[in-house]
Amino acid sequence: MVLELVTGGELFDRIVSRGSYNEKDASQCFGQLLDGLRYLHERGIIHRDLKPENLLYEDEREEAKLKIADFGLSKIADSDVHTRSVCGTPGYCAPEVLLRRGCGTAMDMWSVGVIAFILLGGYEPFYADNDSDMYRRILRAQYTFDQRWWSGISKNARDLIERLLVLDADARLTAGQALRHPWVGGLAAREDSLAEAQNKLREFNARRRLRAATDALLATRHFILAGMQRSQATQHQQEQQKPQSTAGAEMSSAAAEPAFTSIY
């Protein structure tokens, strides 16, 4: 298997490290993401796990291209074959995925809408204290543009997000349609500084990395405990299968000893 080496880091990391950031910068990033998705979708490929961690720059140059990474959950589908399995990352999954309905390329476009929301607002649109509440909000497409963070964002940017975070998958913009949206083309994107959004995005990045580190620690602990349990079970099974020693006729009962001792 041959894979492309990308060394430019994640999209959100590059944004928070920039000296300045505005809607036009965001729209350019978004255009590259949509262009890649259009290529995939035209060939019947559904990514199924779009999220910030899977958007990487090819190298550290300012003009480097944005790449879509991690196709471990991707699927090839056509008009007769639709995936019904629940997959992806909580918070980015489309409603039809959670409901186990037939899912096509539109599920990727919902994830794109979530990414766009975070890109401009700096926080997750369906965030909740627990997964149940988050899924309930996703199934209702229940999100709001908090004016504390969105007052400086153009109506065109919000219009694009509203056309992506739509419950009806058939009504969602396709990658090709989204590419023709005036905001993505840069014509309707503001050039005012988005310092507040950049700061919020920096906080979001920190939380995301903390969650990833916590999940990795819990996963490691789970594998260690599972390994210990398997080892103990194997040892116990071997001990149970080992024949018990019995005292010979020539040995007195006082001299007889068990072949082994099991400790629990």
The residues annotated as belonging to the active site are: 49
Question: Residue 242: which of 262, 264, 263 has the closest Cα?
Answer: 262
Helix and strand totals (H; E) in the chain:
9, 4
Distant-in-sequence, close-in-space partners of 169: CB < 8 Å, separation ≥ 6 = 94, 96, 103, 104, 106, 107, 110
Distances (CA, A) of 37 to 2, 99, 179: 21, 24, 10
Distances (CA, A) of 242 to 65, 106, 258, 260, 264: 63, 59, 12, 9, 17
Torsion of the alpha carbons at 204, 209, 214 and 220, rounded to the nearest 10? 150
Q: Which residues of 52-72 are buried (b: 16+ CB within 10 A; e: fewer)?
A: bbbbbbeeeeeebebbbeeee
